[in-house]
Amino acid sequence: MALVNANGVDMHVERMPARNGTGTGTVSGTSAGTAAPPTVVLLHGLVIDSLISYYFTLAPAFAGAGLDVIMYDLRGHGHSERPPSGYLLQDFVEDLDALLDRLEVAGPVHLVGNSYGGTVAFSYAARRPDRVASLSLVESEPPTGAWARKMADSLGRGVVELARESLYPELAEKYSAHVSRRVKSIARLLHSCTLSEEIPASRVMDEAEIRSVRCPVLAVYGSESELAPQEGWLKSLLPNCRTATIPDQEHSILTGATQQVSDLVMAWIRDHAAVPSASSARPAPTATPARSAKAEYP
């Protein structure tokens, strides 16, 4: 485990170096050369999540395909420091910027964000377009007024429910002692800092600011998710946006449809990792970039 102090907070960071069997240091499917491998930064979801979720989903496949993978626990999560305050969305954006500086990451990175991690990634792309090569949003959305209201509702309900002492023996009986302990750790997070108050109070983006994001954006949804209907709206705002909907999935597509998500995101990063030579140019993507996933193109 590595702790890196970034933006005044000790961040738990893990890296998986690129492992490409060709020895070229490039993503499989792109032109060969001596350039450093592309860097992908994986940002996890809020409260119940941490970087460990990527160890069992995207990270190993990405490193195996020739990407330099960076994962880190967001402030307050996992093994990162949990300050009593400082949980506005902008704080998370500044953490990412400072972390890339501390890790001396050269060149634009490919950001992959699951749920709240995608909101952080989108906000970062608006603030630092020079540092972002592409965005992949997994069951995520930009920080709008509607997003802030949803955050206020879900976090507020969580604070109230997790304060109920009878909840934990109920969970242990219905599920397991492990589940009960896990939920207790979530309660400690919500009750020991101002995260539940600050995130909904974060500055949101209007449509003009959302339109300012010019990097390639992939948005992947579960067909049964409440976020799926926003794909048309997002594509109407972003000129370089693609969407994909995975059938029979809700919000947890990272774990429920790992291979499909991995295939979609990997193809997106590969297509934007480098400008291929004339001999290795890839054809334009088809309407079905991964089995069982419906892709939508403008």
Residue 259: strand, helix, or coil: helix
Q: With CA atoms as reference, report the closest residue to 71 among 44, 47, 89.
A: 44
26, 37 in Cβ contact below 8 A? yes
48 confidence band (pLDDT: 50, 70, 90) = confident
Tokens of 271: 């297509």
Report pLDDT for 216: 97
147, 119 in Cβ contact below 8 A? yes
Residue type, 84: P
pLDDT, average across residues 245-259: 95
Map out the domains of the chain with their CATH numbers. Answer: 2-143+204-296 (3.40.50.1820), 145-201 (no CATH)
Residues 6+ apart with CB under 8 A from 176: none
Cα–Cα distance between 265 and 281 in angstroms, integer?
Answer: 19
Cα–Cα distance between 172 and 168 in angstroms, integer?
Answer: 6
pLDDT, average across residues 270-280: 56
pLDDT, average across residues 10-30: 70
| pLDDT one-digit tens code per residue, 84-117 | 999 999 999 999 999 999 999 988 999 999 999 9
| pLDDT one-digit tens code per residue, 112-152 | 999 999 999 999 999 999 999 999 999 999 999 999 999 99
Cα–Cα distance between 30 and 97 in angstroms, integer?
Answer: 27
> What's the pTM?
0.87
